[in-house]
Amino acid sequence: MGADNSKIKALAKKTFDALSTEFPDSTCSLDYDCPHNLAIRGILSAQCTDKRVNITAADLFARYPDMKSIANEDPAVIAGIIKPCGLTASKTRSVIAFAKKMTEEWNGSVPNDVDLLMEVPGIGRKIANLIVGEIYGTPAVVVDTHCKRVMKRIGITESTDPAKVEKDIMKVFPEEQWIKIGHLSVDLGRKYCTAKSPDCSECPLVSFCKRRI
């Protein structure tokens, strides 16, 4: 087991170095200028593209500059604004629930606490990790569909379960790389390691990826 773990750690180092070279400006693809804006965008991102989320969230925040105004709004009005992101009913409930948490329980501050954030319907571990990682720099791994897919193909994990993938990543990447590797995985998954017809020949990991497709 120890020898195998050493091999995977070596694979992780090669992966991080190669991806950092390929995507030197890799960062969160959700726009935000304050913690609660990122959290709302995270809620809206379920089964929706980040580009659409950024556009829709900008419309929402132009009308509602603070969480109190969202918490007190008619849900039907919020639903009409965020409808382009899909899953309108559940996302409307989540957005308003988050706004109420902010104003009624969290004293206007987004907590640096994954468990507290996950009390909001619509915020799972992935989004909670994104929030604490991006806002507070707390070591956290964001396992989205891209990350889950590419980590298995590369050989970092044998699992497709997000919780297990997260643990496997944490075992072989240093803490200071946890936030970054999530962003790098998204970039790789979008440009080369796509779900269908991955471009393995052009991939920066081609020389050592296990290519488990």
Q: Are 118 and 127 in contact (CB under 8 A)?
A: no
- Domain encompassing residue 21: 2-26+141-202
Mean pLDDT rounded to a whole number for the chain: 95
Cα–Cα distance for residue pair 190/210, rounded to 1 Å: 18
Check which CATH number belongs to the domain holding 189 and give it.
Answer: 1.10.1670.10
Token code pair at residue 194:
């796509």
- Tell me the per-residue pLDDT of 93-118, one tens digit each, with 9 for 90 and over: 999 999 999 999 999 999 999 999 99
pTM reported for the whole predicted model:
0.91
Q: What share of the chain is helix, strand, coil (3-state, %, to 5)?
A: 65, 0, 35
Q: Determine the residue type at 94.
A: S
Chosen domain end from 111, 136, 161: 136
Number of H helices, E strands in the chain: 11, 0
- Tell me the per-residue pLDDT of 27-82, one tens digit each, with 9 for 90 and over: 999 999 899 999 999 999 999 999 999 999 999 999 998 999 999 999 999 999 99
Chosen domain end from 136, 153, 184: 136
Phi, then psi, of 150 in degrees rounded to 5: -70, -35
Residues 103 and 64 in one domain: yes
Mean pLDDT confidence for 123-132: 96
Mean pLDDT confidence for 10-18: 97
Q: Are 65 and 72 in contact (CB under 8 A)?
A: no
Residues 117 and 64 in one domain: yes
Cα–Cα distance for residue pair 182/27, rounded to 1 Å: 9
Indicate the length of the chain as a whole number. Answer: 213
Residues 41 and 115 in one domain: yes
Residues 132 and 54 in one domain: yes
Token code pair at residue 109:
């501050």
| 83 has pLDDT over 50 | yes
Strands in 26-152 per DSSP E: none
Provide the CA 118 distance to its chain's centre, in angstroms.
14
Q: How confident is the model at residue 1 (pLDDT cuts 50, 70, 90)?
A: very low
What radius of gyration, in Å, describes the C-alpha atoms of the chain? 18
At residue 58, the 3 state secondary structure works out as helix
Handedness of CA 51, 53, 59, 63 (dihedral sign): negative
Give 210 or 75, the one with higher predicted confidence. Answer: 75
